[in-house]
Amino acid sequence: METLDGTEWDLLIVGTGLPQSLLALALSRSGKKILHIDQNDYYGGPEAAFSLQEVEEWGKGLADDPSSAPFSSISITKPEQVDPDEGPSLSFSRAYSLALCPQLIYARSTLLQHLVSSKVYRQLEFLAVGSFWVYSLGADETAGSPEALTPVGGRLLRVPNGREDVFQDQVLDFKAKRALMKFLRFIADYEEQPEVWEDHRNKPFPSFLTEQFKIPASLHAPLLALTLSPAVPAQTTTDHALPRIARHLRSIGFFGAGFGSVIPKWGGMSEITQVACRASAVGGGVYVLGKGLSTTLDGSINLDHQEGETPIYKVRLKDGELITTGQIVGDPSHPRLEDPAYCRSITVVSSTLDPLFPPIAEDAPSPACAVVIFPSGTLKLDTADGEAKVPPVYISVHNSDAGECPAGQSVLYASIALKGTAGFQYLKKSVEALLLSLDVTPSPTTLLSVQYEQQSRPSMQLLASETDEPTNNSSSSSMDLAFDDSVLDQVKGLWQEIMGEDAGKFLVFEDREANMTEDDE
For another protein, the binding residues (CB under 8 A) are 1-2, 42-43, 92, 94-95, 107-108, 112, 115-116, 121-128, 162-164, 167-168, 181, 185, 188, 249-250, 252-256, 262, 266, 274, 277-278, 281-290, 363, 365-368, 401, 512-513, 515-516, 519-521
253 vs 377 by CB, closer to another protein: 253
143 vs 282 by CB, closer to another protein: 282
Q: String of b and e for 139-161 (b: at least 16 CB within 10 Å)?
A: eebbeeeebbbeeeebbbbbbbb
Q: In angstroms, what is the minimal distance from the CB of 57 to another protein?
A: 12
Give the C-alpha separation, 49 to 398, whole Å: 14
Give the C-alpha separation, 303 to 285, whole Å: 22
123 vs 471 by CB, closer to another protein: 123
Give the C-alpha separation, 232 to 392, whole Å: 7
Give the C-alpha separation, 254 to 106, whole Å: 9
The DSSP result for 27-93, as a single string, is: TTTS---EEEEESSSSS-GGG-EE-HHHHHHHHHHHHH-TTSSSEEEEEEE-PPPSSTTSS-----G
124 vs 231 by CB, closer to another protein: 124
Identify the bridge partners of residue 293 per DSSP, sorted by sequence position: 317
288 vs 384 by CB, closer to another protein: 288
Identify the bridge partners of residue 316 per DSSP, sorted by sequence position: 322
36 vs 428 by CB, closer to another protein: 36
Q: In angstroms, what is the minimal distance from the CB of 513 to another protein?
A: 5
Q: In angstroms, what is the minimal distance from the CB of 10 to another protein?
A: 14
Give the C-alpha separation, 35 to 15, whole Å: 11
| Eight-class DSSP state of 152 | B
64 vs 521 by CB, closer to another protein: 521
Contacts 24+ apart (CB under 8 A), 88-92: 88/350, 88/408, 88/409, 88/445, 88/447, 89/350, 89/447, 90/52, 90/348, 90/447, 90/448, 91/405, 91/406, 91/409, 92/52
Give the C-alpha separation, 277 to 47, whole Å: 13
Q: In angstroms, what is the minimal distance from the CB of 265 to another protein?
A: 8
71 vs 126 by CB, closer to another protein: 126
- Virtual torsion, Cα 275, 279, 282, 286, nearest 10 deg: -80
In degrees rounded to 5, what are phi and psi of residue 150?
Answer: -50, 130
Q: In angstroms, what is the minimal distance from the CB of 364 to another protein?
A: 9
Give the C-alpha separation, 235 to 248, whole Å: 20
In 3D space, the residue among 431, 363, 424 whose CA is nearest the CA of residue 396 turns out to be 431
401 vs 453 by CB, closer to another protein: 401
